[in-house]
């Protein structure tokens, strides 16, 4: 499947923090987690464009209108001794799905990961999200079923720090 020539993929630039915030909320809504999406445009501006940046973003556009995005950051594998690219979020507007846009975003990030010397790409998916899981399997991703994600946040994080 080829991407329509009018689809443009570009790195986020200052001023795109509203686009990123919009797509994060769209993804949170899809994942039934909108109540957790409290990040502001200012938060994204700082994360994307401060020194050092903590987050990177790619925007997919058609005729100048944003239709999808991905945000990622680099982590590190002590086992391989190499960085990894951690894909935090990816979202393509439902009206534009099935056109290869998500696959192209993954292809562009995989290329970026290799250029940056990354040993791997990682991301999480909700276990009920069968369409996304099927897509991830189609591009060669494997589930890490033997690993479970752990999280420390809010009051528990503050209590441990105290």
Query: pTM (2 decimals)?
Result: 0.93
Query: Which one of 30, 73, 74, 136 is the catalytic residue?
Result: 136
Q: Which residues of the chain have pLDDT under 70?
A: 1-2, 4-5
Q: What is the predicted pLDDT for the residue at 4?
A: 66
Helix ranges restricted to H, the chain = 17-30, 41-49, 101-115, 130-138, 154-161
- Could you tell me if 107 and 141 are in contact, meaning their C-beta atoms sit under 8 angstroms apart? no
What is the Cα–Cα distance from 89 to 129, expressed in whole angstroms? 14
- Sequence spans of domains, the chain: 7-161
3-class DSSP assignment, residue 101: helix
Q: In the 8-state DSSP scheme, what is residue 38?
A: -
What pLDDT is recorded for position 44?
98
CATH topology of domain 7-161: Aminopeptidase (3.40.630)
30 is catalytic: no
* pLDDT given at position 135: 94
């Amino acid at each position: 499947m080829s991407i329509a020539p009018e689809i443009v993929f570009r790195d986020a630039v200052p001023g795109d923090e509203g686009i990123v915030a919009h797509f994060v909320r769209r993804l949170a809504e899809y994942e039934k987690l909108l109540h957790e999406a409290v990040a502001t445009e200012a938060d994204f501006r700082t994360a994307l464009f401060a020194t050092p940046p903590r987050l990177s973003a790619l925007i997919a556009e058609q005729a100048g209108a944003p239709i999808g995005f991905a945000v990622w950051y680099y982590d590190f594998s002590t086992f391989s001794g190499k960085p990894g690219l951690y894909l935090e979020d990816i979202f393509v507007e439902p009206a534009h799905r099935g056109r290869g846009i998500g696959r192209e975003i993954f292809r562009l990030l995989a290329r970026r990961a290799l250029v940056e010397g990354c040993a791997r790409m990682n991301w999480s998916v909700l276990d009920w999200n069968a369409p996304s899981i099927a897509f991830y399997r189609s591009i060669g991703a494997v589930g890490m079923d033997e690993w479970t994600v752990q999280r420390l946040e809010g009051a528990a994080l503050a209590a441990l720090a105290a």
